[in-house]
Structure 1
């Protein structure tokens, strides 16, 4: 009878050095390592290749740029796509004790809420994509500092860990917002901003977005201005006008089509807003954006006035 072997248990005692709350390596995944669970948190970055991630009974394809957050106790293992040596699956592993994440939250007030969320036993594993290569640079620096052990390295890898966890939190929010056409049942402030960035062409109302963030309009407006430097209305209008500028310069859409595409049916109002943003009419902007045009760069990039 063919029975599946239970996952082995990896403990921090086997990996972490004395007085070292973090373990970092760069590994070639193979078929030798058994499926395993562990008593620490793991963040894995797929640096090269592709393969499969077997986790809690699921089989998920992975490829370069995938980042996995794996809480304590989750049974998992990465496998390469093939045994061929010229097509390896190479990952960076960042392992750290859950208690250390909690300690960082206690010592960095602005990080406390995120640390508490990612140290929670109820948090499920998840994957995000490194769409711009930012995480790749962070993990390379993390591995370099951990390996070289030059003076002050622990302070640097701790700061990098905070950046990585915070970046995961942001990217997770962006992906959750991007997956649906309407806001999730509850949005953080950052997720609200991400939602606006992706849906500025739709009808966006402050009361609705504030309610999704479980805040009053006054609270939301105050926090939103502190985060973005603009009011809710100015931020939406700025996003729309920036897209209008891009469409006018890069496409052959008519001015009315551009207005419609960014969410304006009232052409008079669109013209008024556009001129406030750029100092010129849409047609003049298109002409000045041509190779022989002469659009003032400072006005072109100025934020929408609040």
Structure 2
């Protein structure tokens, strides 16, 4: 392996802003965390649009290539199973949400995971910590990197199990905020008023807003907007109907507002995002 990969430790962490990579494969796992910008990763013939907060996984022998736009920034984390003790590796690949990523026997693999904002910040922090450990090589760095890599993989496992590739999730717990989240995820295509939602779960609007932000890190309307944009992003990748139809499907009645909000959240317009897929 290239990059920061000392002898005896089969892992490397490489920061990159490359705009393209030719088709290739390798005999190790490659996790790609997208810090910013946009691009497309072509894995086993299928295009995966990439935005900040996304994680792409290539297993050994997966054929892949990528191209990106200026301003693109990523971190490559490449490793083999030998990084871990056999028992630890067996436990990791058995985790719900992670086994489909890492099991080399399965044919259908969810190569992309869109992390929620808090999880994306944690992933970025872990990448920086691993890179720092591998660069400085201070006493105990082997153990430290293994621990950080384990934390990274567990983060991905829990994210995949909790929200299955969508950057927003319902936070497994009980109570009025969980009830409100369930309603938002079920009815996000409909018109939703914060006051009505608060009343439904038995809270005053102000207290509801404070508790919701404390639990999710977002205001209610921001969370709703991100739900709609996340669904729009999924549809743009798979549905060839006009963008206006897709906007209406996810709850936007004003196409101009949809475009502005999509760009604010993803960094690009819906039309540009669709072009990323169609150019492959």
Cα deviation, 1:78-106, whole Å, max 9, x if unaligned, reads 2122xxxxx332211111113435x35x0
Measure the CA separation in 2 of the matches of 1:57 and 1:239. 39
Measure the CA separation in 2 of the matches of 1:91 and 1:240. 36
Cα deviation, 1:254-289, whole Å, max 9, x if unaligned, reads xxx756x45xxxxxxxxxxxxxxxxxxx6xx74995
Q: RCO greater where, 1 or 2, for CA within 8 Å and sep 6 or more?
A: 2
- Kindly state the Cα deviation for residue 117 of structure 1 after the two structures are TM-superposed: 5.7
- Kindly state the Cα deviation for residue 240 of structure 1 after the two structures are TM-superposed: 3.7
Q: Which of 240, 252, 256 is residue 195 of structure 2 equivalent to?
A: 252
**Residue 58 (structure 2) pairs with residue 73 (structure 1):** no
**Residue 60 (structure 2) pairs with residue 53 (structure 1):** no
- Kindly state the Cα deviation for residue 21 of structure 1 after the two structures are TM-superposed: 1.3
- Kindly state the Cα deviation for residue 67 of structure 1 after the two structures are TM-superposed: 0.6
Cα deviation, 1:11-56, whole Å, max 9, x if unaligned, reads x59995431211111112133x421101001111012221111211
Give TM-score scaled by structure 2 length: 0.56
Give TM-score scaled by structure 1 length: 0.51
Q: Which of 7, 10, 32 is residue 21 of structure 1 equivalent to?
A: 10
2:71 maps to 88
Structure 1 residue runs of 5 or longer lacking an equivalent are 1-11, 82-86, 180-193, 198-227, 229-234, 245-249, 263-281, 291-296, 302-306
What is the count of residue pairs matched by the alignment?
193
1:128 maps to 113
Measure the CA separation in 1 of the matches of 2:14 and 2:93. 26
Rg larger in 1 or in 2? 1
1:113 maps to 94
Structure 2 residue runs of 5 or longer lacking an equivalent are 184-192, 216-280
Measure the CA separation in 2 of the matches of 1:17 and 1:61. 32
- Kindly state the Cα deviation for residue 237 of structure 1 after the two structures are TM-superposed: 7.2
| 1:70-219 equivalence runs, <5 A | 70-81=58-69, 87-101=70-84, 103=85, 106-107=87-88, 111=92, 113-114=94-95, 118-123=101-106, 124-132=109-117, 133-176=121-164, 197=172
